Amino acid sequence: MRPAAPLELAVPLVGIVVVIGVYVVAVLDQAISELVGGGTLRWRRVAFDPLRSAAHLVTQQRRTTERPDTPGWILAPALLSALAALALAMVPLGPTTVAADPETGFVVFSAAIAFVMIAVYLHGWSPNSLFALHGAYRFGAQALSLQIPFLLAMLATTLPAESLSIVDIVQAQESLWNVVRQPLGLPLYLVVGVGASFWGPMNLPDAADLAGGTGVEDSGVARLLWKSARSAMLVAVAAMGATGFLGGWWGPWLPGAVWVILKTLVLLVVLIAAGHLFARVRVEAFVVVAWALLIPLALLNIFVSGAVLL
């Protein structure tokens, strides 16, 4: 572990970033939804609707199911939030401004993404309910197919850096961002990233055709926590995309931290807009695409990046 921000400072900061990120996702989602729907943007509604929904959920009556696995049900949203916070802690705002910069940052981030499937599966299995379980199994197929292309797309960014540390990955992009160096990288990362954070067209486990999927039995605070955790995961995926492919803190005129936030916002808009512009994919078709198309493309990306470096 290399020197990073002191724990007393880093932990609250990451927590604040998670809370702000969740709110920003809710606002962007509402705004893009109204723009895509062709309506006029009403800022008051866009800004306050998420807060109103949150207040509604906090005061809602709790429901439960017959013989659920209560510890698992409580644990699932907490686990997903913790994973999002862990992933966000790996994102550097500057060469030394980072919550944690372990030597194996890439592996830590990938482990957080891999554990998302455990959180979603636990969330769908524990309520002892049909549609929730159905959503959990869908995500099992989806996430297991996504893991390898996700790892390979991210792994390519460690090649120019010759390091698994996220700070080193950004340092290596000073002259040329990875989005130019590896043209396949960012599109691949966004496709698998939107799948790993089960958002928009890839929201199969919590889909409306399952009446809410793994979240169908959630109510009140538990539902709010699960939705927030999902949004936080989306922020983490966008922030890591901005870091790994869009050059992180590198950029003219503005301070590095502002660049990281701006780039993260751009990717967030892309990811959220995808949810309103594309239809939900079918899991059977997607699994075939992941194994037969995304993995070969990701391998090609790695081979080309390696060959260029040699």
Partner 1 sequence: MTDALVADVLFGAFALGSVITGWRVFRTDSMMRAAFFLLASFAAVGGMLVILGAEFLGMVLILMMAGEMLVMAIVMVMFMMNPAGLNPMWMVHQHRVAVAAGVSSFLAIASLGFLVDFREDPNVQPEMATVELGIELLGDSMLVFQTAGVLLLATMIGAVAIASSRGRFGAAEEGSEEPALDPEDRAAS
Query: What's the min distance (Å) between Cβ of 64 and partner 1?
Result: 16
State the minimum distance, in angstroms, from the CB of residue 71 to partner 1: 9
Closest separation in Å from C-beta 220 to partner 1: 24
How far apart are alpha carbons 206 and 188 in whole angstroms? 23
Query: Burial level of 65, CB count in 10 A (0-12/13-18/19+)?
Result: middle
Task: Return the number of the residue (148 or 269) whose C-beta is nearest partner 1.
Answer: 148
Which residue type, as a one-letter code, is found at position 215?
A: G
Residue 99, interface with partner 1 (CB under 8 A)? no
Site string for partner 1, 65-84 (x = CB under 8 A): ----x--x------------
- Select 46 or 294, whichever has its Cβ closest to partner 1: 294
Q: Which of 10, 11, 107, 289 binds partner 1 (CB under 8 A)?
A: 107
* Least Cβ distance, residue 111 to partner 1 (angstroms): 4
Q: Where are the alpha helices (DSSP H) in 162-219?
A: 166-171, 178-181, 185-196
Element (H, E) at 296: helix 295-309
DSSP summary character for residue 19:
H
Minimum distance from residue 187 beta carbon to partner 1 (Å): 24
Considering beta carbons, is residue 25 or 237 the nearer one to partner 1? Answer: 237
Of 1 and 208, the one with the shorter C-beta distance to partner 1 is 1
Residue 24 CB neighbour total at 10 angstroms: 18
Say how many C-beta atoms besides its own lie within 10 A of residue 1's C-beta.
8
- Identify the residue among 27, 122, 159, 236 touching partner 1 (CB under 8 A): 122
* Interface positions, 152-181, toward partner 1 (CB under 8 A): 164
What's the Cα-to-Cα distance from 120 to each of 98, 138, 171, 257, 288, rounded to whole Å? Answer: 28, 10, 34, 32, 21
**CA angle, residues 218, 222, 226, in degrees to nearest 5:** 90
For 123, the token pair is 């969330």
Contacts with partner 1, 286-305, as mask; x by CB under 8 A: -----x--------------
User: Which among 39-47, 105-113, 254-262, 300-308 is the span making contact with partner 1, rule CB under 8 A?
Assistant: 105-113
Q: Which is nearer to partner 1, 49 or 69 (CB)?
A: 69
Is 137 an interacting residue with respect to partner 1 (CB under 8 A)? yes
Buried b (16+ CB within 10 A) or exposed e, 242-280: bbbbbbbbbbeeeebeebbbebbbebbeebbbbbeeeee
Interface ranges with partner 1 (CB under 8 A):
1, 69, 72, 102-104, 107-108, 110-111, 114-115, 117-118, 121-122, 125, 128, 133, 137, 140, 143-144, 147, 164, 284, 291
